[in-house]
Amino acid sequence: MRARRDLFPADPGLVFRMVAVGLITPLLVLAALIAALTVVPWRALHVHDWQVQSVLLFALALGVWVGVRERVAISSRGRRLSTADAPELHAVVERLCVVADLAKPALVLDRHAMPNSWIEGTSRGGFRLHLTEGLLDLLEPHELEAVIAHELAHVANRDAAVMTVVAGPGEALLSGGVRVVNQGWWPLVLGGGVATFIGWVGTLGGRALSRYREFAADAAAVRMTGNPAALAAALMKVSEGLVAIPEKDLRAAAAGDAFHLLPARDARQFMLPPTHPPLAARIERLERLERALQRG
């Protein structure tokens, strides 16, 4: 237990953000829904109350369905890797799980050229570590180990479960609402716009948590591997690899950016705060850790 505390020391800032996101996000979503029903001058737009309720419920349900289907479609591109499929990769994950005193997550290979990784799930349902084919092709073994350590740190810090339960639904509703709006039929445009707004509100807390948790996971990964340079090199390679991916593919992957190692797209298209801290800031922190290790 002492080794676990050394690897993942208490982080009051992270704990505060997780609790705040878990408590405040549902309240914000409820407030946004009430505002959509009461603040918007629907009658001035010659829309009756029953029409508003019907359209909103239908569009919200459709937005959730489209968003969830999109998330499922992204996940369904991958396949679970057995030990026989990738013995060396499993060995890396098992070794790091022993070091971190964690249960081994399921390994999922995502059939995507975009280099990225993410972890999702809960303790009750189990965690799933996603690695894309583009990532495996791009990184050297020691760099891949650093990335896996970073993802496992999200489990040890408990922020992976918070993001899955709290931030995931908002991201799905935002993505689904945007697609509903693009259908062009005015009831769907109206309801999809409300769904997009509620999803937008629901993502704010998760994005604020996501930015902070990346720094915490980077530091924990360094403590697990003792190799900050490997993680820094991996982040730079992934960033450069994302530039080469077609915009259409990045747009499809952006719905899960809050979970990714690095974001696929700039979130400012929806006037949203970024999901990750600047890459330069992460590299600078890793360089400081590298210098500290060398002095030690």
Kindly report which listed range (45-54, 81-90, 140-149, 270-279) carries the lowest average pLDDT score. Answer: 45-54
Q: Check residue 257 and give its pLDDT.
A: 76
Is there a domain that residue 4 lies in? no
Neighbours of 268 (CB within 10 A): 9
> Given a cut of 70, is residue 193 above it in pLDDT?
yes
Is there a domain that residue 7 lies in? no
Is there a domain that residue 245 lies in? yes
Is there a domain that residue 224 lies in? yes
Q: Check residue 293 and give its pLDDT.
A: 87
> Given a cut of 70, is residue 89 above it in pLDDT?
yes
Is there a domain that residue 72 lies in? yes
In the chain, % helix, strand, coil (3-state, to 5) comes to 70, 5, 20
Dihedrals φ, ψ of 264, to 5°? -80, -30
Q: Which residue has the tokens 């360094």?
A: 222
The overall average pLDDT reported for the chain is 82
The rounded percent of the chain whose pLDDT value lies above 70 is 76
> Given a cut of 50, is residue 8 above it in pLDDT?
yes
pLDDT, greater one: 27 or 216: 216
Is there a domain that residue 6 lies in? no
Q: Check residue 270 and give its pLDDT.
A: 57
> Given a cut of 60, is residue 295 above it in pLDDT?
yes
Dihedrals φ, ψ of 78, to 5°? -95, 170
The rounded percent of the chain whose pLDDT value lies above 90 is 41
> Given a cut of 50, is residue 16 above it in pLDDT?
yes
pTM of the model: 0.83
Is there a domain that residue 8 lies in? no
Dihedrals φ, ψ of 120, to 5°? -145, 165
Of 120, 143, 151, 214, the catalytic one is 151
> Given a cut of 90, is residue 65 above it in pLDDT?
no
Q: Check residue 1 and give its pLDDT.
A: 44
Domain count, the chain: 1
Report the C-alpha gap between 240 and 185 in whole angstroms: 40
Catalytic annotation present for 290: no
Domain that holds residue 25: 13-295
Is there a domain that residue 81 lies in? yes
